[in-house]
């Protein structure tokens, strides 16, 4: 079943908002790590940042997968084909 264009637009906007919130949380994690007075807060700030960056990359991957994109590399003959 295909979703309507309005639903897809809302889904894309939600993905942007979610990734933006994850980015802000990641920056806050770096701020916490920079102001840490002990090793626990420093480590937790860095962990929050790494998780936020991983989530953003996962969101990008999921968007490409839903769009039908596929990885291309040197062994991909379709990417290097010169036939019309």
- pLDDT score of 84: 52
Q: For residues 41 and 32, is the Cβ–Cβ distance under 8 A?
A: yes
- pLDDT score of 1: 47
Q: For residues 36 and 42, is the Cβ–Cβ distance under 8 A?
A: yes
- pLDDT score of 82: 54
- 4-53 residue pLDDT tens: 656 666 777 888 899 999 999 999 999 999 999 999 999 999 999 999 99
Q: Domain segments of the chain: what residues?
A: 15-66
Q: For residues 48 and 28, is the Cβ–Cβ distance under 8 A?
A: yes
45, 49, 56 from 38: Cα distances, Å? 11, 17, 28
Q: Is the pLDDT of residue 69 over 80?
A: no
């Amino acid at each position: 079943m295909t979703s309507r264009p309005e639903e897809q637009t809302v889904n894309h906007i939600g993905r942007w908002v979610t990734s933006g919130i994850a980015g802000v949380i990641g920056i806050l994690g770096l701020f916490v790590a920079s102001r840490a007075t002990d090793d626990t807060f420093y480590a937790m700030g860095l962990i929050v940042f790494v998780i936020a960056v991983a989530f953003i990359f996962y969101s990008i991957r999921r968007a490409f997968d839903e769009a039908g994109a596929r990885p291309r590399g040197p062994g991909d003959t379709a990417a290097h084909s010169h036939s019309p």
